Chains A and B, each alone.
Chain A
Amino acid sequence: MDMGLFLVILFIVAAVLRVDFFFYILYVFLAVYLLSRLWVSRALRQVKVKRRLDSHAFWGEQLPVRVEVSNDGLLPVPWLQLQETLPQPLAFPPVRSLAVSLWPHEKASLSYTLDCRKRGYYHIGPLRLASGDLLDTVSRSFSEQGMASLIVYPRLLPLEDLGIPSRSPFGSIKRNTAIHRDPARVAGVRDYRPGDSLRHINWKTSAARGSLQTKVFDPVISLDTAVFLDLERGHYEPSHAITTTELAISVAASILAQLARQRQPFSLIANGRDPLAEADASDGAGESGRASTGPSLPMRSGQAHLVTVLEALGRIDNREVEPFAAMIQREMVRLPWGCTVVIVSGNGEGLLGHALRLERSGFNVVVVLVDYHSDLRRHSHELEMAGATVYRLGQRQELTRMKV
């Protein structure tokens, strides 16, 4: 029998028989019925949820998450079920639930740990809350409006383990003698010597000292490093594309981290899909919702820039948004003259032409091939013949030992 029907029958019985006690019973049930509905709806309005977690995590980190739920109202919440939805790569089972009861101004928390063993950009939540009354007259549920996001950085591997020399392999090459002079980097002044270019005389200092002074340039030629990450599926062995593209991302991140440690300027250009950029594009464009290019980060140095680059690599999806050829053609014109171009790719297919063009344009080309499933000898030989420095990752057994 339904409660509403019961109330109607009770009312009819009470009204016909005119027994006061029956009316009291009717009122009690009616009050229970109405108060329960009112109670649940009012109490749930005052329930506030706060999720505490870091928005970034390193690969392999155990990230603690704490979901705090508080009852800010004056009514107690008889029962409240919290159900948190989690990304499956970071937690299994991908749901965490808790049932609590909250007095007024009481707090409860749901704590769990995310096992950050997969690089990526994840949404944590939404948190679903369900509550109801004591006698099952009403149940309510709603979802948290906002979701938290988490970026798990790619795994950073020691370059020696990957078969790549870690001591100044890329970027700045320090020479004892200056083979080039960089007029942008003035180290100081010295007395004029015959044969010095008149363009390099510092006239102000000469006037101040009463003798001709020539600018002395920094003998170091800073070869900035641009890392091109090739995620085009055609350049990877199809059956292992997922793992090898992940490996390529890790290698790129490791190289960039090494460059940051050496305090060299670096940039990252990749042709993978960035979900955040895509979300921004969809917000801005409204309809298209797709970013046509991958992340392209400017040439900078420092830890802050490394964090930005690692964030981009953490978010990036291993599906290309544009062909690698188009990307390198577009970005080549923006590169500073003489910089080192590190191309991280799969099997090196189709890279020969780009390597030649880059070499002829005055860039120092380094190619890292990561697709250890393919036979890399032919492509690497061709690239070496074109003047590029080629690194091939170690054999599969070694990588397996490293748990790459």
Chain B
Amino acid sequence: MSEPPGDLGLDDALDLEPGLPPVKAAQEAGRGSATPPRGGGRPRLRIGMWWRVALVAGMLYAFILVLGDIARAGGLTWRGGYLGLAVCLAPLEAYISNRMIKRRQLRGDDRRRFRLAEVVMLVVVLQLLRFLWQGLPHLGGKIERLFDVEFFLGSLIMLGCWSLVALVVQWLEEIEFQPSEAPLSATAPGYDLWVGSHTRRLQHTAAFKHVRSLYLAGAVLMLLMAAMAQVNPGHYVDFGRTGLRYLILHVLLYFVLGLALIAEARLSLLHTTWQHQEVDISPQVARRWPWLVLALLGISVAISLVLPVQYSVGLIETLSYALNLLFTVLVTLLYLLLFLVGLLLYPLRWLLARGQGGEAPPPPEFQQPPEAAPPAATGHPLLDTIKSLVFWLVALAVVAYALYNFAREHRSSLENLPILRSLYRLGRWLAGAWQALRRRASQARLALAARLARPPAAARAGAQARRAKRLGRLTPRQLVLQYYLATMRRASSVGLHRRPSQTPDEYSDSLAGAVPEVHPDLTALTGAFVEARYSEHQVDAAYAHGLKPYFVRVKRALGEWVRKRAQAAPRGPVA
């Protein structure tokens, strides 16, 4: 019988033809069969699913081993080796039964009857294995002795594992590209529908996420169970006890197999997505995948072996020690500074002592600062403390990073929580307050800088005296020029510049337009300037000094003009 197109798995496809892109081959195999293959025939296992079933079986076996550890830790005699064997067969059975249900399209009561038959069969197989493992019990004519506590407990565990595994196997199958999803020809009637359909693709991703979540939840459960088996429950809250330093092999087995399963499922999911998008897939992606996973895990294991796993010192003590250490460093620096100052002053002290006829003082000595005492710990206190410090830093980083990512990924749902909304409002208020504080500080800094830039009253008085002295040294001609140029400087500083083409008279008229009340003063200053600048006759000293009131009035008028203009200017928008 030829293999139906739908049975073409990933690994099969990869081994079809080396030169042909596998997906194309799969598409060619799947093209034209828009409906899943029906009819009879034996269910055939795909190679990819074999691996997955084996991995799931291994993980379940590890789980049963941990159960055995718990039983032994509780003082019970563990005789459940057969249970491990039975649960290893559960994934295989679940996979085959899922395929049969799908192939025969069982629904409703038919499906329930099928499942019931499976349950009965599983219980019977479990008991058979038990009898093979332990031998037949002495019934003594009482058949009810077969149904003891072990029977019920074993069946419960077996059926629990089986139902979980059936779900996992179903998810693993859902990750894979289904033959019914094969791309249709562009001219096929349902092409548009097929192109626009994203539902199946979403289901693939959801199935992968289910598998991964279940694996992680199982990992937590495994660790708790392993801890129950290894640590005395009375010592759970004893933080002073030393850590357990041995390897728990079956927990390791669970994690290794689980990571392999997740990595393989991830590859399948990618392949499925690419098949949906009609992507040509290089065979190298699948070939290199296991090596890259191994490399990633190898590097991660190497890093984990370097990091500390012990904390002889608690978190609070470690933080306290770290702060103490910082304080000690600062004090040491201060002591060093004082020692250097003492060394610099020593010659002076020596000279003073010699001058007074006394003995030379001893040179200064560096005093030892107080050391930060490491917290009480066994072994090497400092080394233990540093290890603890690294440990807690890593731990805090783990928690912070995980929380950050969690908050980022669940931002929309977290924002709807009332307490977080209040916190968000508080955060916004604090941020606003901080901004206001910064604004005020900036304003204060500017005001201080302006105040510092302005000379104090005494300095101003000194400057005036110096200016008067300087003016007193000028000749009358220079004094006239000085008054006019000072007027010009002041006018320019308030924005009334003289254009290069303007004559003194023109400039005077333009200034008079701004300050008409001092027009006569400006005319007097300008006339005096023109006379002093261009005439050759002597300038009278009294005449020169007599210009000061004109200059003062013009100066005041310009100051007034600036104030009026500032008041008249429109203010900025009010916040």
Contacts and interface: CB of A to CB of B under 8 A. Distances in A.
B411 interface: no
Main secondary structure on A side of the interface with B: helix
A100 B307 contact: no
B534 interface: no
Interface string B213-229: 10011011001101100
A100 B285 contact: yes
Interface in B187-234: 208, 212-213, 216-217, 219-220, 223-224, 226-227, 230-231
B274 A81 contact: yes
Interface residues of A, number: 54
Contact of B227 (A13, A97, A135): A13
B282 A17 contact: no
Interface of A: 1-11, 13-32, 34-36, 39, 76, 78-79, 81, 83, 92-93, 95, 97-101, 103, 108, 110, 134-136
Contacts of B327: none
Interface stretch (B7-15, B121-129, B238-246): B238-246
B284 interface: yes
A23 B309 contact: yes
Given A23-B309, A28-B304, A136-B269, 7 more contacts: A4-B405, A8-B399, A8-B406, A25-B223, A28-B297, A31-B300, A101-B288
State which size class the interface on B falls in: 35 or more
A95 B183 CA distance: 14
A78 B289 contact: yes
A279 to B, nearest CB: 31
B406 to A, nearest CB: 4
Contacts of B293: 134-135
B398 interface: yes
A6 B398 contact: no
A32 B302 CA distance: 11
10 contacts: A16-B236, A18-B244, A19-B226, A26-B304, A27-B303, A27-B304, A29-B300, A98-B280, A135-B259, A135-B293
Given A97-B280, A136-B212, A11 B398 contact: yes
Given A19-B230, A79-B285, A13 B223 contact: yes
Contacts, number: 177
A27 to B, nearest CB: 3
B243 A20 contact: yes
The 9 A-B residue pairs with the shortest CB-CB distance, nearest first, are A27-B304, A31-B300, A23-B309, A97-B279, A4-B402, A18-B243, A1-B216, A4-B405, A20-B309
Interface in B284-310: 284-285, 288-289, 292-293, 296-297, 299-301, 303-305, 307, 309-310
Interface of B: 186, 208, 212-213, 216-217, 219-220, 223-224, 226-227, 230-231, 236-237, 239, 241-248, 251-252, 255, 259, 262-263, 266, 269-270, 274, 277-282, 284-285, 288-289, 292-293, 296-297, 299-301, 303-305, 307, 309-310, 394-395, 398-399, 401-403, 405-406, 409
B263 to A, nearest CB: 6
Nearest to A36: B296
Contact of B406 (A4, A21, A27, A100): A4
A135 to B, nearest CB: 6
